[in-house]
Chain A
């Protein structure tokens, strides 16, 4: 299953970054697919990006709400919120584990053989602050004389944007190199920091600083597809603690907002069949479904 997940990550990374004409055109994709929401964090200024980044689009809509309303345009971000809300209600943070290109990059970096460290659990709350302040509140509230704000998260933090858009655009359009300043070097330092951290710790950016992960995490109790614990079968052996890439103690908090449904605990750790993948509360594993049928006919 782990190999299958890697293939899914790779295919989705290529689908959301499938415009390979950019070395010739020297610009970004400008086709109709850009109305489709990328499920994971994937900068839409990336030359290869075929879809829009939900966090980037949400900030763009937030920062222009006042301006739009004054001009009689009722763009309140419902379309973008609706798109990521539907994905979140279906899959929640499963997206992080299966469909986010930046998560995939971090997983590959973590395979580099070095000494590994844990990510302190309280740091997970930082990403909720990023979502609330940098993605929603500041773009909405801090505006210039024309009523326009700025994309705080993209501009000052997003390492995915620096990797996928900033660096490739500097390569494609050499004239832009003259405009590079402290802001870009600051973002570059953040990118190097998170990529280096990903070598020695599992998915640090997803756990600490990803606002999209924070948004999907809000659906941990209300998502359709999720892992479920059978307390009757669980022996509290804690085997699930050691395989989780997000530091979730599944037997203690089966609805943890950090769970990315990578299935490592179910496939590689639990020997007692206590963890199952469910859709709307109904187990997906063949054994579990068979058991329900048997119970019904007894």
Chain B
């Protein structure tokens, strides 16, 4: 039984994924989700070009 050719698993996507996962967790720890929720519950009229 001879292993002829093996397609390597790319590591870069996992490193990038881990980085953003940590960023996400840092955001959660600093309480940003509640801030985002607060913003997204309001209609920002000037943001959509009205008013």
Contact = CB atoms under 8 A, between A and B. Distances in A.
A151 B25 contact: no
B4 A295 contact: yes
Contact of B49 (A73, A186, A281, A298): A186
A115 interface: no
A155 B39 contact: no
Interface residues of A, number: 63
Contact of A82 (B8, B24, B40): B24
A35 B37 contact: yes
Nearest to B13: A224
Nearest to A27: B43
A165 interface: yes
A222 interface: yes
B20 A35 contact: no
A222 B18 CA distance: 12
Contacts of A81: 20, 23, 27
Interface in A187-229: 187, 219, 221-224
Contacts of B21: 82, 86
A85 interface: yes
Interface in A76-112: 76-83, 85-86, 88-90
Most buried by A among B3, B16, B25, B49: B49
A170 interface: yes
Interface in B6-35: 6-10, 12-17, 19-28, 30-35
Interface stretch (A6-14, A53-61, A123-131, A263-271): A53-61
Nearest to A161: B48
Query: Which 10 A-B residue pairings sit nearest by Cβ, starting from the closest?
Result: A82-B24, A79-B27, A85-B20, A78-B27, A79-B32, A82-B23, A281-B10, A89-B17, A187-B49, A52-B40
A162 B27 contact: no
A134 to B, nearest CB: 12
Interface string A142-174: 000000001100111010011001100110000
A186 B17 CA distance: 39
10 contacts: A52-B37, A78-B30, A85-B19, A89-B16, A169-B43, A169-B50, A224-B14, A280-B10, A297-B1, A298-B2
B48 A166 contact: yes
A233 to B, nearest CB: 14
B19 A176 contact: no
Interface in A19-61: 27-28, 30, 32, 34-35, 43-45, 52, 56-57, 60-61
Given A61-B32, A166-B49, A282-B7, A28 B43 contact: yes
Given A155-B47, A161-B47, A298 B30 contact: no
Given A80-B27, A281-B8, A282-B9, A151 B32 contact: no
Contacts of B9: 280-282
Given A170-B50, A184-B49, A296-B6, A35 B44 contact: no
A221 B12 contact: yes
A298 B1 CA distance: 6
Given A184-B49, A292-B7, A34 B16 contact: no
